[in-house]
Amino acid sequence: MQITRLTVDGLESGCVTDEAPAFAFALASTTPGEALASAVIRVGDWQVTTHEQVGIRYEGALAPHTDYPVRVEVTGTSGATAVAETSFRTGRLERPWIARWITDAAYRTPKKQSPVPMVFRTSFELPKPVRRAWIEATALGVYELDLNGAKVGEDYFAPGFTSYANQMQVQTYDVTDRLASGADAANTLIATVAGGWAVGSFTFARKNMIYADRQALLLEVHLEFEDGSQDVLATGPDWQVSTDGPVRMAEWYDGETFDATMTPEAMTWKSVDLTSPRTTPKLLAQYGAPVRVQREFTPVTQTVSPSGELVYDFGQNFAGVIRARIRGTHGQTVVFRHAEVLVDDELFVKSLRTAKATATYTCVDGEQEYSPRQTYMGFRFVGVRGIDPADLELTALVLHSDLTPTGEFSCSNELLNGLQNAIEWGGRSNLVDIPTDCPQRDEREGWTGDYAVFATTASYNFDMSRFLDKWLRDVSAEQSRGGGIPMVVPRSGNGFPVMATSCWGDVCVLAPWAEYLARGDLGLLRRQYPTMTRFLKAAEWWSGLLSVGDQRNIWQYPFHFGDWTSPDGSAKDWIKKGKWIGTAYFANSCGLVAQIADLLGEHADAARYRAQRDEVVKAYRSVFTDGHGLLKEEFQTAYVLPLHFGMTEGDETEAMAANLVRLIDEAGGHLRTGFPGTPYILFALSDHGRVDEAYDLLLQTGAPSWLYMIEAGGTTIWERWDALRPDGTVNIADLGSGKDGEDSSGGMVSFNHYAAGAVGDWLYRRVAGIEPVEGGYRSFRVAPIPGGGLTSASGAVQTPYGRASSAWTVDGTSFELHVEVPVSTRCTIELPDGSRHERTSGTHVFTCELVRDTAGVIG
């Protein structure tokens, strides 16, 4: 037996924390049926004996800036043993800062623009050898550190995007090997701080100075010397600041302008000013997943557009920046523009709206390299002017939060494999410190509805634990007193009032529930439970407003996005469908919170929420249907939600499924669902005896459909089903008011939104057939549903206990299934012939004969 993975707060190494951490470990064994019998976890003098492998909370004492070794000794049910070790380090805890916030108080940030980056510097000497040195830093704005001519750390956009009024992250960087010590050995530390989310232009309305009037830096260099003495070098009045550094412009939407001819020697420096944040946020050691370079792309083609612009195609839409290796001359300017698609062989940028998405670089003489550091773009294509292609080597760096991939899916249909690739890349592109809606235009906000529907797919594809721990803190921090959840988190200048609204607000239930099922840590549910209950109380209050009878459980007010981005109608039409969506989502969240309450031992709450769910379900059926499965006002999502959320009974269920199929047939075999219904439409069909119809819908290639995007060349998921028309033109039709009254002069069209990629959940749970029954897959089901002409499919997930997988093939009428069950878990296998098998850890093979009807369709 082996311990294959040991983590502290989700990290295998490098954990720095200001809070009591949680441990988890995975096991592997060649002994069939092996499981954990017991484990002893030791941290210094503290130890605990446990039968758990996930969410084991440290309950010992913590001191600031201290290393804690962790040792885990496990014994399996077979008697086998294994040992693993790691460590974690504490941050400041509540130790006061010596450092002071510094800025240039004379600088005035222009209205609706991002400020010029500020450059801070200090120099210092170390007269004696250093045993250990580290930097702790945070900023209002986004910062990057340079020590003795080289970048410190790997992070982009530190300190990260949080609800700055409530909490901010502090980064810790070990710089022991970067310092020069001894006589006449000088060290120079430079910090470049751009406006970022705190000060810079944000939202399509170009609001700025949302959290601060100008940038500010807080930093300490901690020194431990070989002789045992210590010292701290801190930001304060002895530092210098300049606003004429090489980064002349940096902001999220317009890009970056860099002048390499501007050196520190040529800059104008002055003494800094002391300042302080507007509020008093908690300053905590980094608890989220930092944004870092994840891979590097080389262009697949290089062409010249009709207008004469060099165009590089990287073959994949993604979020990131270019890296240019240039042979240039002093003062030469090279311009890099970014776009998702080409139209008539030119970069199409109208859909970016006001975003310029441009990097401009002024050269020095000779060989040089440039890559933006204070911004990012969403793109596949880069247009370049100002340089001969022979003098340019262009690559691209993929940027997103540092998330461990956990899920896999593939099958015998290459279009579906392309869809899976697009789902993964849509996720990567929009998991950039917060879950954004898109990475390219003048938005990139944390829209809650987008993540609400994508949460389960995201938690399958990636280990979302640290990412969500960070973001959900902000969801809770920005919840209103009345229980409403902002449509955007962090709210950060978004114009919508904070109110309880369906699907978007339900993220406070759906996201932690999805992550619990994937990772199994009750701690997340426990932390988020008060947020969930306040939200449901708000939904209950709004449902009962000005209502009597069953109408008291119909959630109509104050506002719902409704069937957002449905192919039918405009934004106004989608919003009109809000009470159907609101009521169904209310019932679903009541049911989920009842399950969560039971898991947390809140059984009285669980009984109350189940009763409330029953009342809401009764109201939906009474008010919206004829009582026999026919909606009084029909649209696909209004059938999908009650079917998938288990709100129907008996013959009513069959009638609703038949009516949904009829609406799909009337739409020419296409879906007509928006954000709230799209994740569940295939479940609503397949789980109610309509497997063939589910596969037909999945495999539809005409617009609107998932595979239309893929056949049209999409490498990510689109915001709208018809973003690119069959004739190759981009659909930028005016949608009316849109989100937050957005400017529709460039339309509401993005080729990199992940919401419709929530279909990935059906690929994993029904095609591959892997589905958690208990949190973290401690017990799970494998029940693949073959169909759609597929001859094979496979899926795998790295659970907290180890790898779980399902792989099946069909040869004629013979079905063969391979299942991998991790140590300490159990699996129920359901074959297409209806047989059931229970298995514990190991690899298992099953076969059966498939039944086909007269048309040759698998039954």
Supply the residues annotated as catalytic: 443, 719
What CA–CA distance (Å, rounded) separates 38 from 506? 38
Strands (E), 267-365: 270-271, 273-275, 282-285, 291-297, 301-304, 310-328, 333-339, 341-343, 346-348, 358-362
Strands (E), 344-435: 346-348, 358-362, 366-370, 377-385, 392-401, 407-411, 431-432, 434-435
- DSSP structural state of residue 52: -
At 41, which helix (H) or strand (E)?
A: strand 36-43
Crossing angle of helices 636-644 and 650-666, rounded to 10° = 150
The two three-digit tokens of residue 651, written as one number? 């013959």
- DSSP structural state of residue 631: B
Q: Are 737 and 572 in contact (CB under 8 A)?
A: yes
What CA–CA distance (Å, rounded) separates 160 from 156? 8
CA 168-55-163 angle, 5° bins = 15
Neighbour count for residue 397 (Cβ, 10 Å): 20
What CA–CA distance (Å, rounded) separates 841 from 324? 50
The two three-digit tokens of residue 164, written as one number? 């700055």
Neighbour count for residue 96 (Cβ, 10 Å): 6
What CA–CA distance (Å, rounded) separates 358 from 376? 10
What CA–CA distance (Å, rounded) separates 716 from 757? 9
Which residues lie below 8 Å from residue 23, measured CB to CB, with a gap of 6+?
Answer: 6, 7, 8, 41, 56, 57, 58, 70, 72
* Residue whose tokens read 């080409």: 342
Provide the edge-to-edge strand list for the sheet that holds 270-271: 150-151, 142-147, 186-194, 118-125, 240-242, 270-271
Q: Is 659 helix (H, G, I), strand (E, B) or coil?
A: helix
Residue type, 65: H
The two three-digit tokens of residue 332, written as one number? 């030469």
- DSSP structural state of residue 763: I
Name all contacts of 263-270 with Cβ < 8 Å and 24+ positions apart: 264/121, 264/190, 267/119, 267/242, 268/242, 268/244, 269/121, 269/240, 269/241, 269/242, 270/104, 270/240, 270/241, 270/242
Positive or negative, the CA dihedral 135, 140, 146, 148 is negative
Positive or negative, the CA dihedral 719, 722, 725, 726 is positive
What CA–CA distance (Å, rounded) separates 426 from 453? 13
- DSSP structural state of residue 766: I
The two three-digit tokens of residue 459, written as one number? 């938690």
What CA–CA distance (Å, rounded) separates 98 from 223? 13
The two three-digit tokens of residue 834, written as one number? 């209806």
- R_g over Cα of the chain: 28
At 222, which helix (H) or strand (E)?
A: strand 216-225
Q: For residue 265, count CB atoms less than 10 angstroms from its CB and return exposed for 0-12, middle for 13-18, buried for 19 or more.
A: exposed
